[in-house]
Amino acid sequence: MVCSRCGERYEHTRVQSVCTKCGGTLFARYDLEGVKASVSRDSLKGRPPTMWRYREVLPVLHDEHIVSLGEGYTPLYPLRRLGEPLGVSLLVKDDGAMPTGSFKARGQTTAISKARELGVRRVALASAGNAGGAMATYAARAGLEAYVFMPRDAPSVAKLECHVMGAHVYLVDGLINHAAAIVQRLRERYGWFDLSTLKEPYRVEGKKTMGYEVAEQLGWRLPDVIVYPTGGGTGLVGMWKAFGELEELGWIGSERPRMVAVQAEGCAPVVEAFRKGAEGVEEFPDAHTVASGIRVPKPYAGEQILRVLRESGGTAVSVSDSEILECVREF
């Protein structure tokens, strides 16, 4: 485990959160030369169609600790009717096919599996939607106790999913950052492992499998542009990490897609920071949008998101709630 900010190294056999020296996000590092020597692109063909087909570059060391519901390797659909008028070949990665109905399952299967491997018994996080339900589901599968802190106005279906899956659900008067502050304050007192977005190094490892899958599904070529709805930004950061690993493995070349972060106008801290040329994000005031899942006023890993956008030659754009709803209907 290596701090993304200061480079401090941490032991991978112990539960880790963020860097104790600077608060930076931790990233897992692998013996990619060893993986390259033992695994080839062709050898993947006989493996089960789940994200665990890439298990050599995932942080769980022993298969018996993997908590899986068959997640990953979701379809990549062409959207010809929408793409042709724009003159582009448009594809959508359908992570709605996941066991919990969203891409959050990628992060939670990885984090819960690693938590179980490290002997964790209680997990907690702040969630405005799908992450809470995914954690509750995988925690239930693993026999762990789950605590979810959500804004009081979070979608009712998200709150219900957490309840049904046996989590302890607490509603907070405020936004996801207020819920996260409560988890941070109480985690040591109650022995919780905090799985909030990018405050631990394991969820991003699961999310990066989107990048591995897209590359494999496109014949080990990458698209020109990846457009990503951005709240906490774990998937954006994770895919960029995946592309670097894939190049080191020799499975792709040096080409990279331009990464585009899309946020709602009512909550666009990344867009504001990108436009100003800032290195980090400021809390977005009076955050509000119909897209509750990306209503994150100050993503913890804002500097990592901005770095990915700039390194890729990408950008950040915001759209109105009316545009979001119109596109949902058109889609």
222, 253 Cβ separation under 8 angstroms? no
Cα angle at 22 between 305 and 30, to 5 degrees?
65
Over residues 41-71, the pLDDT tens digits come to 999 999 999 999 999 999 999 999 999 999 9
Residue 245 has pLDDT above 90, yes or no: yes
Q: Report in angstroms the alpha-carbon separations of 184 from 139, 181, 212.
A: 19, 5, 32
Q: Quick one: 51 and 160 in the same domain?
A: no
pLDDT at 55: 98
Q: Quick one: 37 and 139 in the same domain?
A: no
Q: Which residue(s) pair with 225 in the sheet? A: 258
Q: Which of 135, 181, 122 is nearest to 162 (CA)?
A: 135
Q: Quick one: 171 and 292 in the same domain?
A: no
Q: Report in angstroms the alpha-carbon separations of 228 from 1, 92, 306, 316.
A: 26, 10, 13, 10
Region 242-247: mean pLDDT is 99
Q: Quick one: 93 and 209 in the same domain?
A: yes
Q: Quick one: 67 and 128 in the same domain?
A: no
Q: Quick one: 30 and 54 in the same domain?
A: yes
Residue 179 has pLDDT above 90, yes or no: yes
Over residues 93-121, the pLDDT tens digits come to 999 999 999 999 999 999 999 999 999 99
Q: 129 falls in which pLDDT band (50, 70, 90)? A: confident
The upper half-sphere exposure of residue 44, i.e. CA atoms within 13 Å in the direction of its Cβ, equals 22
Q: Quick one: 89 and 38 in the same domain?
A: yes
Range of 221's domain?
A: 2-98+203-330
Measured between alpha carbons, how far is 72 from 136 in angstroms, rounded to an integer? 18
Measured between alpha carbons, how far is 177 from 128 in angstroms, rounded to an integer? 10
pLDDT at 321: 97
The domain that holds 245 is classified in CATH as: 3.40.50.1100
User: Where is the domain boundary, 194, 211, 228?
Assistant: 194
Q: Report in angstroms the alpha-carbon separations of 41 from 3, 45, 74, 133, 211.
A: 29, 8, 18, 33, 14
Over residues 181-196, the pLDDT tens digits come to 999 999 999 999 999 9
**What percent of the chain has pLDDT above 70?**
100
Q: Is 110 inside any structural domain?
A: no
Helix (H) or strand (E) holding 235: helix 234-249
pLDDT at 331: 82
Q: Quick one: 160 and 251 in the same domain?
A: no
Measured between alpha carbons, how far is 16 from 12 in angstroms, rounded to an integer? 8
Residue 291 has pLDDT above 90, yes or no: yes
104, 130 Cβ separation under 8 angstroms? yes
Q: 323 falls in which pLDDT band (50, 70, 90)? A: very high
pLDDT at 185: 96
Q: Quick one: 174 and 207 in the same domain?
A: no
Region 229-250: mean pLDDT is 97
pLDDT, mean over the chain? 96
Q: 307 falls in which pLDDT band (50, 70, 90)? A: very high
Q: Is 56 inside any structural domain?
A: yes
Q: Quick one: 175 and 309 in the same domain?
A: no
Domain count, the chain: 2
Q: Quick one: 308 and 212 in the same domain?
A: yes
Residue 152 has pLDDT above 90, yes or no: yes
User: Where is the domain boundary, 194, 212, 229?
Assistant: 194
Q: Is 42 inside any structural domain?
A: yes
Q: Is 105 inside any structural domain?
A: no
Measured between alpha carbons, how far is 161 from 133 in angstroms, rounded to an integer? 5
User: Where is the domain boundary, 194, 221, 236?
Assistant: 194
Region 215-236: mean pLDDT is 97
Q: Is 104 inside any structural domain?
A: no
pLDDT at 330: 86
The answer to pTM > 0.85 is yes
Q: Is 268 inside any structural domain?
A: yes
Residue 122 has pLDDT above 90, yes or no: yes
Q: Quick one: 241 and 94 in the same domain?
A: yes
23, 300 Cβ separation under 8 angstroms? no
Which residue do the tokens 């724009």 mark? 86
Q: Is 109 inside any structural domain?
A: no
User: How far out from the chain centre does Cα 146 lie?
Assistant: 19
Q: Is 113 inside any structural domain?
A: no
